Amino acid sequence: MSPLKPRVLIVEDDPDLLVVLRVNLTAMGVEPILAGDGRTAISRIQAERPDAVVLDVMLPGIDGWSVLEDLHAMGDPVPVVVCSAKKDVEDMERARELGASGYVIKPFDIDRLVDAVMGAVGRSRGVQPGLAVELGLEGPELA
């Protein structure tokens, strides 16, 4: 019920990863919402205004790059953490140009991804990452 509870949209087509990310983010006091493809992601971002988005680039139908391009074109300020199996510098640069706030290479360490997401949530709420715990954006008080 807390109005401070951050909401994070997880965009991923792999059901196992969806569940793992949901459980881990819930444990961090985040309310996760899910999307399995690009179209659902765009509609849920517009309808539910999440504090951050975890975006897999390889999706059925509209892929993650198209979602990122759409958000960039719409000027949507939601911070996006991109997940990709590609290590190419060009891809990282492309994500940065399209306004992504983080880039995590798969297979990823779940703790690193959660840290990146919490950092993005902190930025979304105008909080420096170091102050996130103090202001209740992390930790048990929101669980």
Partner 1 sequence: MFERAKIPDGDRLRREAKVAGLRDFRTPSLEAVERRRLRLWLLTTIVLVVVAAGVMVVIRPSGSSSGMLSEPLLRLAIFVLALAFCVYALEKEFRLGRATRLLTDERVLTAALTNRLHEASLLLDAGRAMNSVLELPELLQTVLRSACELLDANGGSVMLVEGDELVTLCVRGRQEAVGARLRLGEGVAGHVALRREPVLIEGHVDSNEFPGLADRPPYVESAMSLPLVHRDEAVGVLNVNAAAGRAFTEYDLRAVAVFAEQAASAVANARLYEAERAHVAELIELRHDRVGEAG
> Binder to partner 1 among 2, 4, 8, 14 (CB under 8 A)?
14
Range 58-97, binding partner 1 (CB under 8 A): 58-60, 63
Burial of 35 (0-12, 13-18, 19+ CB in 10 A): buried
Binding residue (CB under 8 A) for partner 1 from 2, 4, 15, 88: 15
Shortest CB 31 distance to partner 1, Å: 8
- Which of 48, 88, 97, 134 is in the footprint of partner 1 by CB under 8 A? 48
> In this chain, which of 2, 4, 23, 46 binds partner 1, going by CB under 8 A?
23
Residue 117 corresponds to which tokens in the numbers above? 């997401």
What is the closest distance, in whole angstroms, from the C-beta atom of residue 60 to partner 1 in the complex?
5
Token duo for residue 4: 């401070």
Other beta carbons within 10 Å of 5: 14
**What gap in Å lies between CA 52 and CA 4, rounded to an integer?**
14
